[in-house]
Chain A
Amino acid sequence: MENLDVLRYHEQVIIRLRALYRQFGYTQYETSRFEEYELYARNKAFLPSDEIITFSGVSGKLMALRPDVTLSIVKNASDGVAYKLFYNENVYRPALFGNALKERMQAGVECIGDIDLYSTAEVIVLARRSLDILGGRCSLDISHMGFISGLFESVELPSVQQDQLLRSLGEKNAPEIAALCAEFGLGQSFCDKLASLVKLYGPFDNEMLGELKSIAVGARCDEALAELTALSAILKEFGVSAHLDFSIVNDLSYYSGIIFQGYIEGAPAKVLSGGRYDKLLQKFGKKSGAIGFAVYLDMLEHEISSKETDVILPHNENSDPRELARKVNALINEGKSVRVCREAVK
């Protein structure tokens, strides 16, 4: 890597991300751009949208341009094998704003197998360091679906009501949560707990975890709390900081544990999203656990201003092309960059 300057900003980012993932022993996964449509049709709720580009394969089977890489990786994962993979591929999914389908560049990390506390921490460290590579101020926010399900279980909510509360939690919509709690006739102590959870936002440290402890109820919440507490200690060893934010919610039927999102200053929406998705593997009849994340590289709008060309050589139809060639060759051999521009004769 003698001269990264010739690369565009997002290309530089990709190279640095790859170097980071390799440093932690992850290997690159390459996959086909298309899969059978059925793979995505069966797991629509796992995908951000049901808009998918389809086409007929040679044998008449309905195929799809992949909207996601994780499903392809999970489909091919065998039980009993530990996978530490990263990828950098284009996916075909709707643009962040609006519905038009776009080719979007994504990088990501997946860790599949026996997921212990250390592997969870490692993936989160990789997520945080990925944000640092994207540049500027950044924020990695962590939530835990197990904690939220634990809360819901304490009042045995039907899933329709759970979904409505989850949506409001995701909007940090305290007034709506109060209204829904009243509408569903839920007890005061549960309503107060949800109200505190929706307002909870701060550094991932003992003080915040203490606040979370006051909201916990039942064994699942305690388990989640213990996992978060142990995780915060390991992140400290890596010198990695994060925030707790329970407005990060995801589909309960796919996500079971820790989930997280990353933001960088200057990008209006999340640039990184991930979490523990054991339940997806269960749907494929697999026993392994899994955690991973994706980085949305098309969110990187700010380009580092590329270095100007050293020399601009104007020429017109009257100039001698051989003379021009000699000049260009000499400059190139000196290691300069040259741009030859044709001008009209006045």
Chain B
Amino acid sequence: MINIALPKGRLGDKAYAVFEAAGFGCPSIHAPGRALVFENEETGVRYFWVKPSDVAIYVERGAADIGVAGKDILLEYSPEVYELLDLQMGRCRMAVAAAAGFTDIQGRALRVATKFTNIAQEFYAGKGREIDIIRLNGSIELAPLLGLSDVIVDLVETGSTLRENNLSELETIAHITARLVANKASYKFKHDEISKLVSEVEGQLAVT
């Protein structure tokens, strides 16, 4: 039995559809109700929905053998997991944005508002720029508008939210897609099952 952690929401639905098409379906997942865990003994899979940012934790600690996690979460928390497949969905980018017309005045710490503090810190350390991290949990775009920060580091999909708020994208830090991750110990002890699933899913991705 392989335990699979899926992120709640659109991305998880899309990922499940690929697993289902690859032959690892679990009909009960569509049943209405409040069940949290869905099992299909025939195909040997057990799915559960968790908060997207928690998937990596479930997999790292072995509560799930594999899971679907955004590259943003993997970059931010660097969990000890194997990253086996690029699922090529949930495509977006981690970017730096600022109010239109912003220029970086060197000589003082750059104030950076973000949910992704580790990514921002690593990115600016690589550039040798001193920063002041302002950790926010949402509505990041508001920070430069109200003068709370100079720039923001956030996920950008189409860029329309930025445009609507008169913000412009300065730099791309990383391209983000959803990844199939696996627990390191599970990979050893459930090697045949996990390899089979990975190759079937990979085949399915090539078709679509």
Contacts and interface: CB of A to CB of B under 8 A. Distances in A.
Interface string A200-230: 0100000000000000000000000000000
A270 B184 CA distance: 8
B61 interface: yes
Contacts of A174: 84
A175 B185 contact: no
B62 A247 contact: no
Interface stretch (B6-14, B20-28, B75-83): B75-83
Nearest to A265: B189
Interface in A230-285: 243, 247, 263-265, 267-270
A141 B188 contact: yes
A263 B189 contact: yes
Q: How large is the interface on A (under 10, 10 to 19, 20 to 34, 35 or more residues)?
A: 20 to 34
Contacts of B183: 268
B83 A267 contact: no
B72 interface: no
Nearest to A136: B189
A176 B82 contact: no
B150 interface: no
Nearest to A172: B82
B80 A139 contact: no
B195 to A, nearest CB: 9
Contact of B185 (A97, A171, A176, A268): A268
Nearest to A243: B188
Contacts of B84: 172-174
Interface in A268-316: 268-270
B129 interface: no
Contacts, number: 49
Given A97-B60, A269-B184, A270-B184, A171 B81 contact: yes
Interface centre among A141, A174, A175, A263, by most chain B C-beta atoms within 10 angstroms, is: A175
A201 B191 contact: yes
B61 A268 contact: yes
B203 to A, nearest CB: 15
B81 A267 contact: no
B88 to A, nearest CB: 9
A137 interface: yes
B61 A175 contact: no
A33 B82 CA distance: 35
Contacts of B57: 97
B86 A175 contact: yes
Interface string B78-110: 001111111000000000000000000000000
Given A171-B81, A268-B62, A137 B184 contact: no
Nearest to B71: A176
B61 A173 contact: no
12 contacts: A97-B60, A139-B188, A172-B83, A172-B84, A173-B84, A176-B86, A243-B188, A263-B189, A264-B185, A265-B189, A268-B62, A268-B185
Interface of B: 57, 60-62, 80-86, 183-189, 191
Given A139-B189, A173-B83, 13 more contacts: A97-B61, A139-B188, A141-B188, A171-B81, A171-B82, A172-B82, A173-B82, A174-B84, A243-B188, A263-B189, A265-B189, A268-B60, A269-B60
3 closest residue pairs by CB, A with B = A268-B62, A175-B86, A173-B83
